[in-house]
Amino acid sequence: MERKTANKSGKKGKKPNTSDRQKSDACEDPDRFQRLFGFQLTDLQSWRRFVCLMSRPTDPASLAFTRFIFADVRWGDPEQCHFPLFDWLQPLPVQWMIILYFLMLIGAAGIMLGAVYRVSCLLFLLPYWYILLLDKSVWNNHSYLFGILAFLLTLSDANRYWSVDGLFNRNIHNADVPLWNYTLLRSQVFLVYFVAGLKKLDIDWVTGYSMQYLASHWVFEPFRLVMTNDEVDYFVVHLGGLTIDLFIGFLFFFDKTRLLAFIFCSSFHLMNSQLFSIGMFPWVMLATQPLFCYANWPRPIFRRIPRAMRLLTPDDDDTDTQPSSHCIYPKEYVKPEMTPDVRTAAPASRQRTPPTRPSLRHQAAAIFSIIFLLWQMFLPYSHFITKGYNSWTQGLYGYSWDMMVHSRNLQHIRITFVDKDTGQQGYLNPELWTRSSRWGSHPDMMQQYARCIASNLRKHDVNNVELYFDVWISLNKRFQQRTVDPRVDVLHADWSPFRSTTWMMPLLVDLSDWRTKFTEITESLNNNTEFVEVVFVADFPGLHLENYVHPDIGYTNITVLKGKVVVEVLPEEEDQSVPSADNVTLLEGQSTQIPGGRFHNVYTVSDEPSCYMYIFTNTTEARFLEGLKEFELLMNGTEDTSKVPEKFAKDPNLDRYKEVLEAKAKERQYAEKKLSEMAKDVVQFIHSRTVRSFRMIKGAMKSIVMSIPFHSILEEINTSENEQSFSTPVL
């Protein structure tokens, strides 16, 4: 809430100016509590006073700044699988999806300029939420936040200052906005941080297992001067992230700590922009920081601009704002001449009289503010209702603010289909109809993917199928284990959003303490050679893992850490001399070697879950790196890979050697580029993407208007671009 607010003016009939309203309350004299929090306790003692507080007139300048800064082809394959929140939501044809993005662009431009503001907000908001709800596999907390901020801006009066609408409509130009406009935006941003901090109280985050191997990134170089990588991972990444999320919102709220909040929060988001590929999220959060400042903070900055240069900035010579019917004013503010005779005055004149008591509109705004904030506090913890979306973690990823708390490492996915009509069994490439692997962690998405696969198989005359998924994932450095029961036909399995999913396998949390031993085991093995990879696996009694060892892996060993397993090495299909598989039973501490180029099964036969580890030694990769080192030495640093030393003329890895050296040469060239050359590359990239985008928009319109298949237009665009790239001289 605005911490220093409108006060009685002391002179009857005189409107308090912006600075007066920043220092006093609309109904009461300021006291210590008000100076600290921006409102009085008495403002919460009655419904009328609360409505008055929510509709208190507030400077529109900071809200306009947020509006301006905020606004600053995966749908093309008909067989591509999507994961909508509601199954009846389906993507439009690709040309119409392009038009939707174009409408969003127009809406974003309108929001930024404050032009036809409400319409612009809807042009952005409605397509955005439609596209967001179309595919849960691309959800994250950031995309959800953008949709919420767009919704709140749609409801706000953010076009009252520095807007095109204000230039043409003097009734809203530089007009007050109700305090709830700021309250909702500030509260939403506060909740993003604070709830994220509460979620980081998870034991995995507090003990340092959520984020992996970040300390080696260059942004942590200053910390590595005095700390080890493990210490950076724990104290800076985990405990530092927890502290910032929990307390940064409170630091923003108070005057004396706000500068400190700006420093820590800006550093936090700038580092995140380099650490993660999270799009515009760091920059949007940076843009929301000024919301916590006084609402009139942009005015002194704009006043410093000479009048002759104020072409694109607001004319801020007038320090006073005009009243708005969306706010509630103290009676002392209303001049006698501002109160027309209701018997003779025109309706428009009566409407311009500043309200002094709550109307239905003001009360509705207050009710909505309460409901919205309660909903935003409840939603991240609503997973006890939507049990069907729960698995190892609670609910759908995207609205819970559990950012970075859960780190998944996907090891293996196997999709088996059985044609019930013929009994034929086959395997499918997990990436055949989706580029996302997030579905493997969520039961609702698993069943959606199963239905999509069945639909696509029907196009290939496979009409009656069963589908079985075997997905292996490690959560926060735990054992690799199954997420779903591989014996259940997911296509026909029972699922409800309000009931727990019985065919999902539980997370083996009792084995979490093994993580402390993983590092010791891995480090002891890596002391012998750098080409060793260790994979820790846990499985349930009565199940088995089917695996294949690539021939390039020179040595593979299985060692049992807990429980009892039977390892079955299957014969090669073309080897008819081997009558049956080789079986070996392993107890805790025992191991066996697995030959390369063969399938094998690992059966868990103990009464408790088994734990074992694979030790892979990639001797082929070791030989390649040795050859690469010698090849690079003989080439003597030259970038001309056409002249090959005679020793390597028949080396089967020659092409790979050349590719690696060419890639290194490009990296050196990039590192040696001047800042001006890098800026030129960025500008050229943005220009090419912009030109292509508008070509796609033009093509989509042409396809719709002239009923031309869009794929043919897309071929024309690609052909034109290829011809242009060949004809463009290389500078």
Q: Which of 263, 273, 283 is nearest to 217 (CA)?
A: 273
Identify whether the C-beta of residue 148 lies closer than 8 Å to the C-beta of residue 403.
Answer: no
Q: Which of 329, 317, 321 is nearest to 9 (CA)?
A: 329
Single-letter residue type at 660: V
Query: Exactly one of 4, 200, 477, 564 is catalytic; which is it?
Result: 200
Single-letter residue type at 203: I
User: Facing residues of 539 across strands?
Assistant: 610
CA end-to-end span of the chain: 56
Identify whether the C-beta of residue 57 lies closer than 8 Å to the C-beta of residue 38.
Answer: no
Place of tokens 């027309």: 340
Is 200 labeled as catalytic in the residue annotation? yes
- At a CB cut-off of 8 Å and minimum separation 6, what does 716 contact? 699
Q: Which two tokens stand for residue 354?
A: 């500043």
Identify whether the C-beta of residue 326 lies closer than 8 Å to the C-beta of residue 63.
Answer: no
* Burial class of residue 75 (count of CB atoms within 10 Å of its CB; 0-12, 13-18, 19+): buried
Q: Rounded CA gap, 689 and 710, in Å? A: 19
Q: Which of 113, 104, 107 is nearest to 159 (CA)?
A: 113
- At a CB cut-off of 8 Å and minimum separation 6, what does 321 contact? 18, 57, 59, 60, 174, 175, 176
Identify whether the C-beta of residue 321 lies closer than 8 Å to the C-beta of residue 284.
Answer: no
Identify whether the C-beta of residue 554 lies closer than 8 Å to the C-beta of residue 597.
Answer: no
DSSP element (H, E) containing 600: strand 599-604
Q: Rounded CA gap, 711 and 55, in Å? A: 53
Identify whether the C-beta of residue 193 lies closer than 8 Å to the C-beta of residue 252.
Answer: no
Residue 12: how many other CB atoms lie within 10 Å:
12
Q: Rounded CA gap, 669 and 454, in Å? A: 49
Q: Catalytic site residues?
A: 200
